[in-house]
Structure 1
Amino acid sequence: MTLQDAIAADDVNQLYRLIEGDINLLDHESEGPFPDTPLHDAAGNGKTKVAMEIAILKSSFPRKLNRGGYSPIHLALQNKHYDTVRALMTLNPELVRVHGRGGITPLHFVAGTIVDNEQDNVKLLELLAEFLSTCNSSIKDLTNQCETAVQIAVRAGNIEAFKVLFGWLKLVHLTKILDWKDQDGDTALHIATSERQPEIIKLLVKYADVNAKNFESKTALEIFKESPSGSPDVAKRFHDEGHQARHYTPTLSLSQYFGREQKHSEKWARFFNVQDKSNRDMIIVVSILIATATYQAALTPPGGYWQDSSSNSTFVTANSSSIAIGKPHEAGGIILSGKRLIVYSIYNSVAFLASIATFLAAALRLERSTFMVCFNVELFCFAFLISITTQIPETDMAAQDALMLLLWFSLPAILSFPIYAMYKTLKLASVRRRVDATWRHLENFPGSEDGK
């Protein structure tokens, strides 16, 4: 029995018997720049068991392209062997990003494939969803025409695949990818308008940039006017969205944006807009450590708390620890008093509030899901100051007054810092909306946050 026979029979045991007789069996036809490896043969014929064994033994095979420019997963997809594709994905999710002929990845292929068989269509849509969830970054891959999977689905008229892609982009806050341009400068909305896809236009018009221009200086709205889809509802939505977006019409090219003199407000915005993720993480970690240390210091002040109550004010003695025991006090009150208590309470509270403000300013630059965390942190901040003021003895009115002054004046000022930082960041974002760029790599554009 030959290797081809073992693959045809999907016989793993026979495969290993052949390898025992020839340890270089899998390499004989796998040399050269574009080999047809045994994995290509197994995957193309849907022989999942043998394909998995070969992929495990030869981890480089799944990424190799044959003379036709296809990887094993590409061949499996072309021949509708979706179970084989799903099995190979378990070995390495990055196989979804392998570029084949024309720069087409498995994700691109599925997005642009329309089948007549309803059962196969359901399998393709499920596979598309699995590709996205298994390898999130695959959505950013481009073909040699600079097309995303979304643009391919729109151009092919694959509405169901587009809905899966569109829903996923909204779910992960990456709808800015809808504004990426292909080699002709067309966004997904340009393509949908040119191809007269009214259902897709209805979905896109609220999320895509209606006024973005292609390399022929035409917006999707202008293309729509030249060749309307015939749907009055689509026309109404298109014009309404175009009217609402008029303030964000791109007026600068990318080179003009980089070459212009920055305004004072933009410089301040970039000061708060920490781009480097490692720096931002460091700021958050250090802020949390400072907040933790100052909070613990408030709970355990120097000298501790009185263990007993005393109303004697006529004499003062001292124990072996030099702590006044004749001073009027109540059990549970802070032993520290006078100017030392004022200085300690103020500096500790300011350090705590400053660390909280810094944490909020950095955290608000992350995903929208951090909003509730930030809100809870501010509630915790208020609770901290209330607790520290209540534990100061009523006899120490100077310290109480000082902390109350801090509570009513310094607290709003410090906590307004992250709000100011967010305002400046939004200010910078409004400037970026004026830039007409391909937006293909959002993470590399100054002031962007992974497309969010």
Structure 2
Amino acid sequence: MDPRLQLAIANDDVAELHSLLVEEPKLLDRLSKDPFPNTPLHVAAAAGKTHLAMEMAILKPSFARKLDPNGYSPMHLALQHKYYRTVRALMTLDPKLIRVRGQGGLTPLHFVAGKEGDNEMEILAEFLSSCGSSIEDLTSRCETAVHVAVKSHSLKAFKVLFGWLKRLHLTKILDWKDENGNNVLHIAAFENQPEIIRLLIGHVNINEKNFEEKTALEIFKANPSFNHNVAKRLQRQICLARPFTPTLSLSQFFSAELTAGERSAYFFGFRDESARDMILLVSTLIATATYQAALSPPGGYWQENSSNPPANATVVATNSSSIAIEKPHEAGNMILSGSSLYVFTVFNGTAFFFSIGTIWAIAIAQFPKTFMVYFSMSILGLAYFISHLIEFPNSNEVAKQILEGFYGSLLTAALFLPVYVWAMHVRVLNRIDATRRHVHVFLGSKDRK
């Protein structure tokens, strides 16, 4: 390396770097010809020269991803030498640098996951916030960052990772297995870490076996100094979790027919966002219109009570004094009567319940995130049902009871059928014994960093 460039790096002198580039425009290209070069960015990052490192990364972004002969990227070197200002600067420039695999497949996330210092814990939290999908990166031994934290006895790092996974509902990652078939619970049992085991209970499949056909409890008990209280808790959890033990391989799942939840998702356009949005919009308009029609039916409502005996089959008759004689009614009942009332009620109610049933079906595909939508629509359906019970005329009790039964059946079906479909779908998914899945599947995002 040119001594003047070395001096510019030592002084963190960006102006001198550009002076050299004016004299020799291909300077940086010449320094990066080797397959594993020790680029000026590597040197600057290892020395904590943040300004020059950032300028170099801007001028030659490829430097930030290159590995030196020892298999380290500039961010790896900055972490090793504890230059966290440089690490943060590089991360701000490109968050995906957190996913660069170095020696042994270790990423910067794996590196800090094996540490215990407060500074490293802050960097770990910032890594997860800036590039969440880095949690799915594996080392050459198929280890996640959580595996590394437990193997390194880094309780602080484990708690940071564990808390982040719980907040993003990504605890399924704890079931991912390394090259020996060990998930995080198995590793904690091997390393005799009772506190981590206590935290993991309820979030990891207790009955899972590694490639030696051993469960975490068997591994834990093999340790002469195992904690008996933790072992008892594991035993109780095994008894509770036994009915939910995965029994379906991933290939068997793919070979099976689509679940009811998958079929409904395709039917309602869940995979096609434009179709889903259109169905949701139309269903919402129908639900609004039909609910409003129930509140303001044709003819409106009686404004007062009347107990006059009917003069004939018509609603209103006229006596000799030209005074209107009305059929018996109560204030708040619908004025509409006869066959017109029943036809209106049946069609309006059917349209309403089918529309909210469609909204439920779309919402159920993203349960439990859309629970409040499902709950709100359930309250709306119940309010519609109760309003008809109150407003429907009492003149024909048989017809009223038939319509009540009809509405009740529609409401029950619309309320419980989507939940049943979703529960059956989840039940099948919980039977799958898969070692790992991608984060974007859990996060539901197509464009995660």
Band of TM-score, shorter chain? 0.7 to 0.9
Inter-partner Cα distance in structure 1 for 2:44 and 2:270: 43
Which residue number corresponds to residue 206 of structure 2? 210
Q: Is the 8 A contact 1:290 1:351 kept in 2?
A: no
Q: Is the 8 A contact 1:52 1:87 kept in 2?
A: yes
Aligned residue among 138, 141, 156 for 2:152: 156
Deviation at 1:440, TM superposition (A): 4.2
Q: Is the 8 A contact 1:269 1:428 kept in 2?
A: no
Inter-partner Cα distance in structure 2 for 1:277 and 1:77: 43
Inter-partner Cα distance in structure 1 for 2:217 and 2:20: 63
Deviation at 1:198, TM superposition (A): 1.9
Letter in 2 for 1:379: I
Inter-partner Cα distance in structure 2 for 1:333 and 1:204: 59
SS of residue paired to 1:422: helix
Deviation at 1:372, TM superposition (A): 2.2
Letter in 2 for 1:361: A
* Structure 1, unaligned runs of 5 or more: 115-120, 316-327
Deviation at 1:131, TM superposition (A): 0.9
Letter in 1 for 2:376: N
Deviation at 1:183, TM superposition (A): 0.9
Q: Is the 8 A contact 1:228 1:235 kept in 2?
A: no
Residue-by-residue CA offset, 1:249-302 (whole Å, 9 max, x unaligned): 44455455556x66xxx8445434659963478436513432224414654799
Inter-partner Cα distance in structure 1 for 2:241 and 2:340: 59
SS of residue paired to 1:186: coil
Q: Is the 8 A contact 1:189 1:208 kept in 2?
A: yes
Residue-by-residue CA offset, 1:177-235 (whole Å, 9 max, x unaligned): 11111111111111111122222222223322222111111111111222244322222
Q: Is the 8 A contact 2:146 2:174 kept in 1?
A: yes
Which residue number corresponds to residue 8 of structure 1? 10
Which residue number corresponds to residue 312 of structure 2? none
SS of residue paired to 1:368: coil
Inter-partner Cα distance in structure 2 for 1:87 and 1:449: 27
Letter in 2 for 1:420: Y
Report the TM-score, using the length of structure 2 for normalisation.
Answer: 0.79
Structure 1 residues 50 and 338: alpha-carbon distance in aligned structure 2, compared to 1, 3 A threshold: farther
Deviation at 1:341, TM superposition (A): 6.7
Aligned residue among 262, 266, 288 for 1:295: 288
Which residue number corresponds to residue 243 of structure 2? 247
The aligned runs of 1:246-285 (5 Å cut-off) are 246-251=242-247, 253-255=249-251, 267-268=259-260, 270-272=262-264, 278-279=271-272, 282-283=275-276, 285=278
The aligned runs of 1:412-431 (5 Å cut-off) are 412-431=412-431
SS of residue paired to 1:144: coil
Residue-by-residue CA offset, 1:97-148 (whole Å, 9 max, x unaligned): 111121111111111234xxxxxx1110011111111111111111111110
Inter-partner Cα distance in structure 1 for 2:286 and 2:138: 48
Deviation at 1:356, TM superposition (A): 1.9
Letter in 2 for 1:271: R
* Structure 2, unaligned runs of 5 or more: 304-314, 319-326, 445-449
Residue-by-residue CA offset, 1:26-56 (whole Å, 9 max, x unaligned): 3220234322222222212111112122222
Residue-by-residue CA offset, 1:344-369 (whole Å, 9 max, x unaligned): 55434423322322322332332534
- Work out the percentage of aligned pairs sharing the same amino acid: 46
Which residue number corresponds to residue 347 of structure 2? 347
Name the Cα RMSD after superposition.
4.0
Q: Could you tell which deviates more after superposition, 408-417 or 158-167?
A: 408-417
Residue-by-residue CA offset, 1:390-412 (whole Å, 9 max, x unaligned): 89999999998886565333222
Given the alignment of the two structures, is residue 368 of structure 1 paired with residue 368 of structure 2, yes or no?
yes
Q: Is the 8 A contact 1:288 1:356 kept in 2?
A: no
Report the TM-score, using the length of structure 1 for normalisation.
Answer: 0.79
Which residue number corresponds to residue 435 of structure 2? 438
Aligned residue among 137, 143, 155 for 1:141: 137
Inter-partner Cα distance in structure 1 for 2:361 and 2:63: 47
SS of residue paired to 1:42: helix
Q: Is the 8 A contact 2:261 2:365 kept in 1?
A: no
The aligned runs of 1:45-444 (5 Å cut-off) are 45-114=47-116, 121-251=117-247, 253-255=249-251, 267-268=259-260, 270-272=262-264, 278-279=271-272, 282-283=275-276, 285-296=278-289, 299=292, 343=343, 346-384=346-384, 406-432=406-432, 435=433, 437-441=434-438
Deviation at 1:11, TM superposition (A): 2.0
